[in-house]
Amino acid sequence: MSTITWDSSRKLMQAGSAVAHPFRDSFPEFDLDLAYAVDIRLDDLEVALRAALNDAKFDHIAERYAELTVCYGTPLSGVARSEDEAGAVDAYSIRSGTSALSIEVEIILQKASTPQQLLAATSSLIERAGFIVTESSLRFGESCEAACLELAATRPATIQDVAMLAQSLRRVSLGISLTDRDVIGLHLEVLASRGQVLLGAPESELFDAKEIPYRLDSDEARLEFALDIGSFANSDAGGVIVLGAVTKKDRYRQDLVTQVNGFDPGNFSLDFERCRAVFKNLIFPPPSGIELEIVALTQNRHLGVVLVPPQRDRDRPFLVRRSTLKNGRGVQNSFCIPIRKGDSKTYLSVEEIHRQFHR
């Protein structure tokens, strides 16, 4: 669990290896990227903000509050922001003053909708996430209207919990889900947001989340990688595999992405040539257009993103050579046809395989 503190000697916020200077030198407003703040507890943040507010540096300010703005992605539809601000990002603000900690999120509204309608559609979602709405209002921009929601946590929470809720609210507001995108669009959005767009999203036919990368130094790990690639290659849409994303089952047994923390590159080596050798040797015919991107979240946390684009009908089905262990080594003596079904991988039965070859 990371922490955040006010460094009174240097007049800045210290969050692990990251620092946040006052946005304006004379006012306690700070910006921090979500990658450096994912597991900071709101209780710790409140202590740090109050320490900054009480620092002699800011004795002159009339409005008694300190504020941290958390940036969690590049500009994507659904979160209000200034259109004339260079390098604008999706963000939310957490403020501490004389009263309890307050969280402010702005969500772009569909035309002819209101903050009240958004709240009616998301009240149970907000409650399940461990928050309540203390105030709501309508804000106007040059090309959109946004609901401004002020939230308070009802149980211990982290900055990441707020980001997950913000992402879920905007998907509800715009009536979109990850499955509304094609796999190429999803791939680009995951890269652009450094995976943060997935927060709160369930695994689906289009994407799979892995907490750690595949270890390709064993037959078992190579087979798992080939089966995952093959299952998406056999689907009509293709898919995206995100390496470094943590999931947790909700009350409906769906695997939801709860953290996108990446992995330590010192412990895992992702070599595209090595990955390509795996699906070239184990999948027939080898699927085309596979891409592997490595995204640096911080200096020592990376995210892996594997794209399996839609494949040509004439190349399907893709067969994966299965192996059994003999004297500790894999012996290839059978094959299977993995497919993606909902949020999981399954296999064609022998009857279905027979029909595949006689259609």
Mean pLDDT of 234-244: 94
Confidence of residue 143 (pLDDT cuts 50, 70, 90): low
Asked whether 229 and 277 are in contact (CB, 8 A), the reply is: no
334-344 tens-digit pLDDT: 899 999 998 88
Instruction: Give pLDDT, residue 144.
Output: 60
Cα–Cα dist 287/238, whole Å? 11
Q: What is the mean pLDDT of residues 207-230?
A: 92
Q: How many residues does the chain have?
A: 359
SS3 of residue 247 by DSSP: strand
Distance (Å) of CA 93 to CA 16, 31, 62, 140: 20, 9, 20, 18
Among 37-41, 119-123, 204-208, 230-234, name the one with the lowest average pLDDT.
119-123
Mean pLDDT across 41-52: 91
Per DSSP, helices labelled H in 54-158 are 115-128
* pLDDT per position as a tens digit, 295-306: 888 888 999 999
Q: Domain residue spans in the chain?
A: 4-176, 179-356
pLDDT, one tens digit per residue, over 174-217 is 665 555 567 887 887 788 777 877 877 889 899 999 999 998 88
Confidence of residue 79 (pLDDT cuts 50, 70, 90): very low
**Mean pLDDT score, 328-351:** 83
| CATH number belonging to domain 179-356 | 3.30.950
Confidence band for 127, pLDDT divided at 50, 70 and 90: confident
pLDDT, tens digit, 9 for 90 and up, residues 257-294: 888 889 998 887 778 888 889 988 999 999 999 999 99
Residue 86 pLDDT: 35
CA-CA distance, 158 to 327, in Å (whole number)?
48
171-185, 232-246, 313-327: range with lowest mean pLDDT: 171-185
In this prediction, residue 88 has a pLDDT band, given cuts at 50, 70 and 90, of very low
pLDDT digits (tens, 9 = 90+) for 12-32: 889 888 888 887 667 788 888
Confidence of residue 309 (pLDDT cuts 50, 70, 90): very high
Cα–Cα distances in angstroms (integers) from residue 241 to residues 191, 246, 283, in the given order: 12, 12, 17
Whether 74 shows a pLDDT value over 60: the answer reads: no
Average pLDDT of the residues of the chain:
81
Output the pLDDT for position 44: 92
Q: What Rg do the C-alpha atoms of the chain give, in angstroms?
A: 23
Burial of 178 per CB tally in 10 Å (0-12, 13-18, 19+): buried
